Amino acid sequence: MTDITMIRAAASRLAGHARRTPLLSSPFLDEIAGRRVFVKPECLQHTGSFKYRGARSAVSALDAATRARGVIAFSSGNHAQGVALAARQFGVPSVIIMPSDAPRMKIDNTRALGAEVVLYERATEDRDAIGAALSAERGLTLIKPYDEPQVIAGQGTIGLEIAEDAAAMGITRADVLVCCGGGGLTSGIALALEADAPGLRARPCEPEGFDDAARSLASGQIERNARTSGSLCDAIVTPQPGNLTFPIMRRLCGPGLVVTEDEALHAMALAFSRLKLVAEPGGAVALAAALFRADQIAGDAVFLTISGGNVDADVFQDALARFA
């Protein structure tokens, strides 16, 4: 199970590979939020999202012989690109199983990063069976997107960096708002903060209608979403919190925060005008929570992640047209 020792070991393996993202801020955002807002822009990470950290952590943790046979992942988005790049950097093959209706751009990017993309029909084919057959045939290792200890450890390195930067600024108590899908990022950050900044508390942020983590934290047990598609925040929509991530979140995280899709788009427009950053809708929910749920946050400072920036131009243009 992931612990702080694993997170520190992941940080060592990521050093010189993952970007050490800065903390950004804007007096204009501080004014909206009513407190100082510190933004961790993982959209600037390699492949445009934090997922590269967990993928590189997991691929680098494999023993050399296992790794040499290659890795496999199921993903239509950010995890796919993270695994593809990490595998290419080690010179090992990667296979990504993607739905045939995934955005062309994401398929092309994943291929361009060196992965073999295997498409399946959502309606008629069983992706797990396809993946199992390929893994057995080639000896590939499955890299899960969040319910995998070394992936959680890799995402936790973001928490180490936030803790270090907060200490340098003398901030010892604050909420850390995290864009939350399956909970790999949230639980990893929570573990890192527990060790290095115990007065900082991770809180998952989700879009309305897909608030499984918030409801699970409230009830104390894993709750499912009624649906898992139809959200602009697709990058962070999962059926339910992970079996490994939820116990960590239950032990360490503060209450979840939930924002509307329009608030996420509005936050994207503010990230554009005030931070000069490109956020994807799911990557903007924590910024939206900091700005538009200020009454649910305590203290004179708040930290948050922008978890990714892989957004199609038409969605981004729409966010600007409506909210910039």
The footprint of a second copy (CB under 8 A) covers 19-22, 24, 27-28, 41, 43-44, 48, 109, 112-113, 269, 272-273, 275-279, 309, 313, 316-317, 320-321, 324
Shortest Cβ 115–a second copy spacing (Å): 13
- Report the chain's C-alpha Rg in angstroms: 18
Nearer to a second copy by Cβ, of 84 and 217: the residue is 84
What is the b/e burial string over 28-50, where b = at least 16 CB atoms within 10 angstroms of the residue's CB?
ebbebbebbbbbbbbbbbbbbbb
Which has the closest alpha carbon to 286: 51, 41, 77?
Answer: 41
Based on CB atoms, which residue is closest to a second copy, 2 or 78? 78
Q: Which is nearer to a second copy, 39 or 177 (CB)?
A: 39
Question: Would you say 31 or 121 has its CB closer to a second copy?
Answer: 31
Task: Give the shortest CB-75-to-a second copy separation in angstroms.
Answer: 19
Best CA proximity match to 261, nearest among 215, 310, 225, 208: 208
- Report, in Å, the least distance between residue 276 CB and a second copy: 3
Helix, strand, or coil (residue 41): strand
Q: Which is nearer to a second copy, 170 or 230 (CB)?
A: 170
Is there a contact between 192 and 176 (Cβ–Cβ < 8 Å)?
no
Residue 44 or 130: the one with the smaller Cβ distance to a second copy is 44
Q: What whole-number distance in Å separates Cα of residue 242 and Cα of residue 135?
A: 23
Residue 24 Cβ, how far from a second copy at the closest point, in Å?
6
Rounded Cα distance between 229 and 91, Å, is 34
Considering the complex, state which of residue 69 and residue 90 has its C-beta at the smaller distance from a second copy. Answer: 90
Nearest distance, CB of residue 177 and a second copy, angstroms: 19
Alpha helices in 34-183 (DSSP H): 51-61, 64-69, 78-90, 104-112, 127-138, 149-168
Strands (E), 169-263: 174-179, 200-207, 257-259
Smallest gap, in angstroms, from Cβ of residue 84 to a second copy? 11
Cβ density class 55-75: b for 16+ within 10 Å, e for less: bbbbbbbbeeeebeebbbbbb
Least separation in angstroms between residue 22's CB and a second copy is 6
| 106: its two tokens | 């994401």
Q: Check: CB of residue 263 under 8 Å from CB of residue 286.
A: no
Closer residue to a second copy in complex, CB, 141/273: 273
Min separation Cβ 153 and a second copy, Å: 23
